[in-house]
Amino acid sequence: MTEQQSVAGRESRAPSRSTIQYVVFTVIAGIVAAVAAFGSELLSLEAWAMFVGWVAWFTRPASLVQGVNAIVCLWCGLALAVLGHFSVGIFSPAIGLAALPLTVFFLAIVAVGLRTTPVLNNMLAWFLGLVAFFAAEPEAVVPGFLALVAATAIGALAGYVCQALQRQLAE
């Protein structure tokens, strides 16, 4: 058989089930992400913050419980960042530039220290929460925190829906 005949033979074969499944799973993820982004936009929430929830969900996609635990850690990270925000404000007049590194030291101690605690053991999700809050730099802390919780909840729900639809099709 010539190389040309071999190539022609491969081109005429139908795509395998795994190829089709790969494409379908990819399209599902795209559709779910688009719907989640649209929902975020309708609620005047930042799409990037929604994706933080999506990413947190998929840090532990093994089960619904693990996904929910990841989101709990994400939200704890957001709450910890709020405490960090206030701590820097409180300590800055007394210790100046040392307020931020000292505060970050204690924030990291909490997030890393809980890595073996059931439910709160997703260190990556904790840090996603810290990063999201500090990146958002909300002018009004409480409304900013609540907006991040809402946006990340949409992302987590989207992650769950994406995963559930993909699992259903895999069966």
Q: In the chain, how many domains are there?
A: 1
CA gap 1, 46 in Å, rounded: 57
Q: Tens digit of pLDDT for each residue in 66-107?
A: 999 999 999 999 999 999 999 999 999 999 999 999 999 999
CA gap 113, 76 in Å, rounded: 13
Pick from 54, 30, 69, 16: nearest CA to 132: 54
Q: CA 142, 147, 150: angle at the middle one, nearest 5? A: 125
Q: Tens digit of pLDDT for each residue in 11-60?
A: 557 778 789 999 999 999 999 999 999 999 999 999 999 999 999 999 98
- Determine whether 110 is exposed, middle or buried from the number of CB atoms within 10 Å of its CB (0-12, 13-18, 19+): middle
Q: What integer pLDDT is reported at residue 2 of this predicted model?
A: 59
Whether 122 and 70 have beta carbons less than 8 Å apart is answered as yes
* Mean of pLDDT over the chain: 93
Structural domain harbouring 36: 3-170
CA gap 100, 155 in Å, rounded: 29
